[in-house]
Each structure stands twice: as C-alpha cells, then as structure tokens.
Copies of this chain bind each other. A is one copy, B any other.
Amino acid sequence: MTGKPGKVTQREIARIAGVSQTTVSMVLNDRDGSNIRIPDATRERVRRAIEQSTYVADPAARRLAGLDNKILGVFTYESALSPESMDFYGPLLNGIERAAESLGCDLLFFTSSPVEEGRRRLFHRNTRLRLADGCVLLGQQMDGEDLERLVAESFPFVAVGRRDETDAPVPYVGIDYGALTGRLLDRAAELGHEKVLYLHRDLNSPTARDRLAAIGRAPGALAVAPFIVGDDLSDLPQVVARSGATAVFAEDAFLVEDAALVLADPSLSLAALAEVRGHRIGGRTLSGFHTPRQQVAAEALALLQQLISTPAEEHGGIEIQRLLQGEVALGETLILRGGTR
C-alpha cells in the first residue's frame, strides 16, 4: 500500500514551473509578508502548473509540519448512527455537521475505538485522536479519566453536556436542566399540585444530579418524592397510590411513556424533565422541555474552534463552561390538579 501512482507533489509542480519547491509552498499558502515577495509572473507560472496538474496538498504532511488540519474529532461513548440513538444524537449531529460546514472543517468519527464494558474507549494504542485539531465528546456518561487526560495533555476538546466529574475545569456546552426543572415545578405548583412523584434510574450523570438538586429546591407548597425505577414498572400504580401524588414526572420522555402504559388514571398529570418533541401520551402532547440541541452542538463546535485557534496562555479569557437555556413545553399532560386528561 505504498503505491500512490497518481500522486502529484510540490516537487513535481516546482519542476514543471521551473522554481524551487519552497516557492511552490509559498504560493500555495499565500505567504507574502515583509521579507517574502514573489513577483506576479512567478506566482502565475506556479498557479498554472498547479491548475494543469491534479495537485492537492497532502494533509498528513501539512499536519506533521505543524499546521492545523481543519479536522474536528467526534467521539461518542455509544454508537452514534444507530436508529435507536438517533432520537438523542440526531439533532446534535445535525448541528455539528452544519457548524463544521460553516467552519470549513471535516469531521473524524472515532468509530474504531474498542468497546469495553459497553462503552468506547477514547485512548487506545492506535487512536487517531491527534489527527484532529480538537475533539467534541458526546454521551450521557463520560469517563472522568479521559477528561483528566485530555486536560493534562492540553488537547483541545469540548464536552456536550455539563460535566463535573473532574477536578480540572472541563470545557462544555450544555443545557440548564436545573433551571428548567425549577420552572416546571413552579408550573405544577400553580396548577394546584402538592405531591409529585419523580421517576428516575439513578444515573450517575451531572444532568441527572442537576434535576435532583432542583427537585430538592422545590417550592414550599410542593413535595417531590424521587423514586428509583428498574425495568419492571408493574408496581408503579401502588407506589403512586401510596404516595398520594397527583403528578408523575420522569427523567426522560420514554420513561413517561412506559409509566403511562401501567398508570391508567387519567387524572394523573405527567411530564418529562427532558426533551419531549414528538412524544405524545394517548394523543396529547407530552409536557416537558424543549431543548436547543442543535444550538448546543453549534456552540460546542464554535467553542472548540476558539480553543484551537487561541494560544493556551490566553484561554483564561474564554468562557469554557456554558449552559444554554431551554424552554418549558407546557404540553397537554400536565394539567390542573383534579382535572382529567
């Protein structure tokens, strides 16, 4: 696999144009500063030689010589392009693709990373991480060690979603689930609810903690009881009855849907503390949040680009941790206490 017969190099162009290889490089990179001044004639000669050939710069060589590659890495802790993950990753990937287009960057997906314990490993023997100028990380849960190491090696990266599992501050762009949760709880209180049951899977992620923390700060009139669920929800009706809750919230829309299947009571209010777009319960739009996922992705790439193009000493001036505000989706399943859906 060394045979690259069709490959044209700067040396070849130089030969044709009758100049040195250095000059070709200068022309290609528009190096035209104080001490380098290439006459238009030479410049033209080189240009023509290039046009007539099929020359394209070898990106590996450029990179090795110290230039940016305009390649951004995309690392996902799970499969990104499977049908199941599209609900979550789809809008993010779309935002990333569009941002990359407008930044003029290519996207390197680290699909080769070996899977261990169900999750991909970022660092491994032959990681191509370094080929990228920087990397965005996606996934509900991330590996704290990966993050620490990226910081330690001062490799530019941005996590999508809030992170707090490390000592060193990690650059991220996320959604302010705490604020959203607070607002939805306010809304529930306004509608007369006094007891809410909150279903979750006890995930160990920052956003899961943000939701729980916000629940701990619920308005005085409202008591919210967290309840950890497993795969089997058959006990749920009893739990709800015993708790006296008039509303059931859950950490994501799928969990609300599952709960709704076993919870037949139409007077029970339902909501997800997460994106609800496209989700309906018995024909009614689910109450919950609208989260600006495309915008998160776009801002993550913009931040990454900023980190890449700013010398490390000046990183202090950059806001590296950003939470974007979503909005509460009122929906039709969070209703007046005592009403019916």
* A positions within 8 Å CB-CB of B: 1-7, 54, 56-61, 63-64, 66-71, 79-83, 86, 90-91, 93-94, 96-98, 100-101, 103-112, 115, 123, 125-131, 133, 149, 152-155, 308-309, 311-312
Residue in B60, B131, B153 whose beta carbon sits within 8 Å of that of A6 in the complex: B153
| A70 and B100 in contact, given A6-B152, A149-B54 (Cβ under 8 angstroms) | no
Across-interface contacts of A133 in B (CB, < 8 A): 1
Across-interface contacts of A98 in B (CB, < 8 A): 79, 82
Residue in B7, B54, B67, B70 whose beta carbon sits within 8 Å of that of A128 in the complex: B70
| A1 and B308 in contact, given A90-B83, A97-B80, A128-B59 (Cβ under 8 angstroms) | yes
Q: How far is the CB of A297 from chain B (nearest CB, A)?
A: 10
Residue in B56, B101, B108 whose beta carbon sits within 8 Å of that of A107 in the complex: B108
Across-interface contacts of A7 in B (CB, < 8 A): 130, 153
Q: How far is the CB of A91 from chain B (nearest CB, A)?
A: 8
| 25 pairs, A vs B, C-beta closer than 8 Å | A1-B311, A3-B154, A5-B312, A6-B155, A54-B149, A54-B152, A56-B125, A57-B126, A58-B64, A60-B60, A60-B130, A69-B128, A79-B98, A81-B93, A81-B97, A82-B97, A83-B91, A83-B94, A97-B111, A100-B112, A101-B112, A105-B111, A106-B108, A106-B109, A108-B109
Across-interface contacts of A80 in B (CB, < 8 A): 97
Q: How far is the CB of A226 from chain B (nearest CB, A)?
A: 34
* Chain B residue with Cβ nearest A50: B125
Across-interface contacts of A153 in B (CB, < 8 A): 5-7, 54
Q: How far is the CB of A273 from chain B (nearest CB, A)?
A: 24
* Chain B residue with Cβ nearest A120: B101
| A56 and B127 in contact, given A1-B68, A1-B133, A2-B66 (Cβ under 8 angstroms) | yes
* Chain B residue with Cβ nearest A71: B128
Q: How far is the CB of A310 from chain B (nearest CB, A)?
A: 9
Bound CA–CA A90/B86 (angstroms): 9
Across-interface contacts of A58 in B (CB, < 8 A): 64, 130
A60 in contact with B54 (CB, 8 Å): no
A61 in contact with B64 (CB, 8 Å): yes
Across-interface contacts of A106 in B (CB, < 8 A): 108-112, 128
Residue in B79, B96, B308 whose beta carbon sits within 8 Å of that of A81 in the complex: B96
Across-interface contacts of A2 in B (CB, < 8 A): 66
B311 in contact with A126 (CB, 8 Å): no
- Known pairs A83-B91, A106-B108; list 8 more (Cβ under 8 Å): A5-B154, A5-B312, A54-B123, A56-B126, A81-B93, A82-B94, A104-B112, A109-B109
* Chain B residue with Cβ nearest A108: B108
Across-interface contacts of A101 in B (CB, < 8 A): 79, 111-112, 115
A63 in contact with B66 (CB, 8 Å): no
Q: How far is the CB of A242 from chain B (nearest CB, A)?
A: 42
* Chain B residue with Cβ nearest A103: B112
Q: How far is the CB of A299 from chain B (nearest CB, A)?
A: 17
